[in-house]
Structure 1
């Protein structure tokens, strides 16, 4: 949607077609934990090169937040925008050194943050589960479905949207590309592939990015009595100091969201029983943090994929004559997808941008081992990390 919107702005006389296999604004873009991330915990705490990488990523993240904010304000999208920041939190003391190094780096670089201890965290979150956190204050929380649908409603009239139109095959054609769907064939001079975790399914950069499957659960609105038992906290978002730890949010309408599963998918779907198993894991995470609440309050659950690379880089650029790609947002799709979508459209249209060079510097994903070695290795790594991070789940 971001690419189509920008193309309509810079090439107002072009015919622009947006093709969606299912329904637009119904996938992982709308079903996620709703974080617009600023500074990330797992980079920048080592060498000078690490710190430079951290600064590059931070600059891109702030640009992504600014891009989303500009669209929200431009189109008047009500998406529960909350500039309250995010918490990187931990329960086990062994994460204290990691969080201390992160806070020290933020301080050296002049990034707005605060370190919170157990008492302050309990008052802020309504749970005594956590012992320490770093609050990064330029992150944003929002309701992702409201954002995605607001952006869908704001698509320019010049963009033709075809939903329920999976691409069954695509190939080079005279002067462009031919794309085949169940309902017909489309020919285009220029194509932008913006399918994120589904890139390998289309044969794009299959040795540079891989998908992880996450499952989240959302509660019904808390009753007034339940909310008061938690201390009536303001809305917040917690990311774990451990990569395999649980994500927790209290939303503006007093719902609790818990994401406590991460796995390498054997295929890109789950049946009802498999989804229920992941839902039970989220219920255990809820009970560990909020023992006064019944896990049965979790009434909605869903799964979606994120696209990652080994070194945290994106996939972005020109693959061939008239063929462009943007994806691999490393679990920061709300912001990064909007920014890279805008900039891949600029690149495809021959428009200069001061961010394209920075994005390209962060778009060199490290090569992956071939399948099935990649799947085996990733599953073993996740099993090891899950064991090490069990205190945070």
Structure 2
């Protein structure tokens, strides 16, 4: 199944609230004929847009190929959360890679957040960064761990932006009886993800990047001068960047064995009016501790954007029904509220939830598999790729050196095995284990 077309119409954004409120960006023409560039980037999500921008700012000629529209994939559909650190906690990273590299990974995570905010301001993007992400815990043991982890970050990493919350504190914040405590990370935040992608695209154009939409890549030929082919054209380049994430498909099997596409779903309510203050007393985003994570925030016009729900298979289910169920478990008072938008998207995960950076060949680089932590880290990945292309590869090589196991069974069997695992963990969620 080609996920580029399994659930979406060619060249069109999904019918999301993000697309309905997107800033203007005229379509770019498709690639036709043969062109040359210093670098060809495949995929116009955050990784590809950031890589193209940072490369152009270094003086490289860049062609950026996108199968549909800029920000079409996970970059334009996600929950918009800009989290701290890496997808794994620092205690896990210390055990995995040692104290020195764990510190470097923390610093990269902090740089990633700062880079997002800096790019928004520097390029006057049509998007605002809103501070604060709360973490809502279902069990007292999770609360104890969250509070101890906040103390560790303050003590060992000098990060004192996390405010612990007890049962009353989390209830005052999120207006729900479903959780027993948590915290707020005041150094994290959230934004309109599609408008951020559009802002990056505008910055790319201003820097001289040639963006080609409706130009799905059919083949990448390796060699001293790689060739990237589409149905109507080809790009000869000294370097190639693979930034297609969950939509990479069969373009590069060595990456596909370590990066798995999965679907996620979001709905949007009508404006809540006075109910908005009951749902969230502060304009922060929230994520909970379920394995199948629920996450939500309020839009600027007072709608609830709620993500979650389970679905096994690459075809999208009845999304409103799928997501409405966990939303009402958290907010039963919204039972009669009208749903205005419901959409799905394909992201990519790895076995250990760390992003997969790799040199496919000396002149073909890839970064993907952000496992739900991609707004900041994919943006930083673009900067690290640009550094590596320019011969300053220390930080890119730090990421390539992280353990990155293949999915059992490779690309062929990874999905059935994930379904078994997700079924087990979602059962644990329902049982409260």
Q: Determine the structure 2 residue equivalent to 1:91.
A: 138
The one of 13, 21, 24 equivalent to 2:67 is: 21
Change (3 A) 1:289 1:264: closer
Q: Please give the residue correspondences for 1:344-355 in structure 2 after superposition, counting only pairs within 5 Å.
A: 344-350=385-391, 352=392, 355=395
CA contact (8 A) 1:236 1:251 kept: no
Answer yes or no: is 1:127 the counterpart of 2:176: yes
Deviates further, 333-342 or 317-326: 317-326
Q: Determine the structure 1 residue equivalent to 2:12.
A: none
Distance 2:75 2:389 in 1: 23
Q: How many residues align?
A: 378
Unpaired runs of at least 5, structure 1: none
Change (3 A) 1:71 1:353: farther
Q: Determine the structure 2 residue equivalent to 1:390.
A: 430
Answer yes or no: is 1:70 the counterpart of 2:118: yes
Unpaired runs of at least 5, structure 2: 1-48
Q: Determine the structure 2 residue equivalent to 1:284.
A: 325
Distance 1:247 1:342 in 2: 28
Q: Determine the structure 2 residue equivalent to 1:379.
A: 419
Deviates further, 66-75 or 35-44: 35-44
Distance 1:40 1:321 in 2: 26
Q: Please give the residue correspondences for 1:348-363 in structure 2 after superposition, counting only pairs within 5 Å.
A: 348-350=389-391, 352=392, 355-362=395-402
CA distances 1:204-262 after superposition (whole Å, capped 9, x unpaired): 41222212211111122212x3335x177221211112322311212332111111125
Q: Determine the structure 2 residue equivalent to 1:319.
A: 360
Distance apart, 1:161 and its partner CA:
0.9
CA distances 1:73-99 after superposition (whole Å, capped 9, x unpaired): 10112322112x211112344533433
Change (3 A) 1:41 1:209: closer
The one of 397, 401, 405 equivalent to 1:366 is: 405
Q: TM-score, normalised by structure 2?
A: 0.80
Q: Determine the structure 1 residue equivalent to 2:167.
A: 118
Q: Secondary structure at the match of 2:268?
A: strand
Distance 2:85 2:236 in 1: 41
Q: Please give the residue correspondences for 1:1-393 in structure 2 after superposition, counting only pairs within 5 Å.
A: 1-11=49-59, 14-39=60-85, 42-45=88-91, 49-50=95-96, 52=99, 55-83=103-131, 85-109=132-156, 110-112=158-160, 113-155=162-204, 156-172=206-222, 175-204=224-253, 205-223=255-273, 225-227=274-276, 230=278, 233-263=281-311, 265=313, 267=314, 269-270=315-316, 274=317, 276=318, 278-294=319-335, 296-350=337-391, 352=392, 355-362=395-402, 364-371=403-410, 372-390=412-430
Distance 1:93 1:367 in 2: 34
Change (3 A) 1:47 1:331: closer
Distance 1:258 1:23 in 2: 24
CA distances 1:181-219 after superposition (whole Å, capped 9, x unpaired): 222233223211111123343124122221221111112
Deviates further, 91-100 or 253-262: 91-100
CA contact (8 A) 2:168 2:181 kept: no
Distance 2:263 2:166 in 1: 32
Q: TM-score, normalised by structure 1?
A: 0.87
Distance 2:202 2:340 in 1: 28
Distance 2:89 2:62 in 1: 38
CA distances 1:95-129 after superposition (whole Å, capped 9, x unpaired): 33433443343343232212112222222123232
Distance 2:285 2:351 in 1: 26
CA distances 1:245-304 after superposition (whole Å, capped 9, x unpaired): 311212332111111125554x4x53xxx2x2x321311222222222235422111111
Deviates further, 368-377 or 2-11: 368-377
Distance 1:319 1:47 in 2: 25
Distance 1:264 1:285 in 2: 16
